[in-house]
Amino acid sequence: MSRLDPPSRIVPEVLRHQARHYPDHRFLKCGGDWLTYGVLNRRSERLAAGLAGLGIGKGDRVAMLVPNRIEFFEVFYAVAKLGAILVPFNAYLKGEFLRYQLVDSAAKILVTDRSGLASASPLLADTELTHVVLIDDVDSDDVGVPVVRLADLPSDEMVPEMELTQADLMAISYTSGTTGMPKGCMLSHGYYTLMPSAYFEEGWFRPGEDVLFTPWPVFNAGGHALANMIGLVGRTSVIYEPEFHASTFMQRVREEQATVLWSTGMPGLAVLAQPVDPDETRHSLRFACFVPMPVAKQQEFAERFAVPVLEGTYGQTETVPTTISPVAGPRKPGTCGRPVWYLDVRIVDELDEEVPRGQPGEIVVRPKNPGGMYQGYWRKPEESLETFRNLWHHTGDAGQMDDDGFVSFVDRKKDAIRRRGGINVSSVELETAVMRHPGVELVAAFALPSAMTEDEIVVAVVPRPGADLTPRGLFEFFKTELPYYAVPRYVNVRDKLPVNAMGRVMKQPLRDQGIDSATWDLEAMGFRVTKGDRR
Find out whether 43 and 24 touch, Cβ atoms under 8 Å: no
Given a contact cutoff of 8 angstroms between Cβ atoms, the answer to whether 408 and 378 are in contact is: no
Residue 67: other Cβ atoms inside 10 A: 20
The Cα-based distances of 434 to 161, 169, 429, 510, 519 in angstroms read 47, 34, 9, 17, 17
Tell me the chain's radius of gyration from C-alpha atoms: 23
Written in H, E and C, the secondary structure of 320-351 is: EEEEECCCCCCCCCCCCCEECCCEEEEEECCC
In the predicted model, what is the mean pLDDT of residues 111-115?
96
Q: Are strands 361-367 and 393-401 parallel, antiparallel or unpaired?
A: antiparallel
Q: Residue 87: is its pLDDT beyond 50?
A: yes
| Highest-confidence segment of 229-243, 324-338, 424-438 | 229-243
How much is the average pLDDT of 363-367? 97
Which of 42-56, 110-124, 487-501, 515-529 has the weakest average pLDDT? 487-501
Torsion sign across C-alpha atoms 46, 52, 58, 61: negative
- Residue 77 three-state SS: helix
Distance CA 100, CA 118 (A): 16
Distance CA 79, CA 85 (A): 7
Task: Render pLDDT for 318-350 as a digit per residue (tens, 0 to 9).
Answer: 999 999 999 988 989 889 999 999 999 999 999
CA distance 10 to 449: 42
Fold exhibited by the domain 11-187: Rossmann fold (3.40.50)
DSSP category for residue 518: T
Rounded-to-integer distance, Cα 435 and Cα 260, Å: 44
pLDDT of 420 above 80: no
Q: Residue 387's closest CA among 175, 208, 135? A: 175
Pairwise pLDDT comparison (242 vs 423), residue with the higher score: 242
What are the residues whose beta carbons fall under 8 Å from the beta carbon of 381, sequence distance 6 or more? none
Average pLDDT over residues 354-376: 95
Higher pLDDT, 423 or 488: 488
CA-to-CA separations, 321 to 52, 199, 350, in angstroms, rounded? 33, 9, 24
DSSP 3-state of 165: coil
| CATH 3.30.300.30 segments of the chain | 416-533
> pLDDT (tens digit, 9 = 90+) per residue, 4-21?
889 999 999 999 999 999
pLDDT at 139: 74
pLDDT at 142 over 80: no
Q: Per residue in 437-492, pLDDT tens?
A: 999 989 999 988 887 667 899 999 999 999 999 999 999 999 999 999 999 999 99
- Averaged pLDDT for residues 353-381: 96
Pinpoint the residues of the chain covered by CATH 3.40.50.12780: 11-187
Fold category of 416-533 in CATH: GMP Synthetase; Chain A, domain 3 (3.30.300)
Q: How confident is the model at residue 251 (pLDDT cuts 50, 70, 90)?
A: very high
Q: How far apart are CA 460 and CA 431, in angstroms?
A: 10
Look at residues 196, 189, 176 and name the one whose alpha carbon lies nearest to residue 313: 196
Quote the CA–CA distance of 250 and 241 in Å, as a whole number: 12
What strands, in cross-sheet order, belong to the sheet with 407-412?
343-348, 361-367, 393-401, 407-412
Beta bridge partner(s), residue 86? 62, 171
Per-residue pLDDT, averaged over 145-161, amounts to 86
Estimate the crossing angle of helix 37-53 against helix 11-21, to 10 degrees: 140
Bridge partners of residue 110, in order along the sequence: 63, 132
**Which among 448, 423, 416, 417 is positioned nearest to 534, based on CA atoms?**
423
Closest CA to 455 of 467, 463, 445, 447: 447
Give pLDDT, residue 247.
Answer: 95
CA 98-102-106 angle, to 5 degrees, is: 170
Handedness of CA 348, 350, 352, 355 (dihedral sign): negative
Closest CA to 518 of 506, 510, 526: 510
DSSP-derived 3-state class of residue 420: coil
pLDDT at 178 exceeding the cut of 50: no
Amino acid making up residue 499: V
Which pLDDT band, with edges at 50, 70 and 90, does 412 fall under?
low
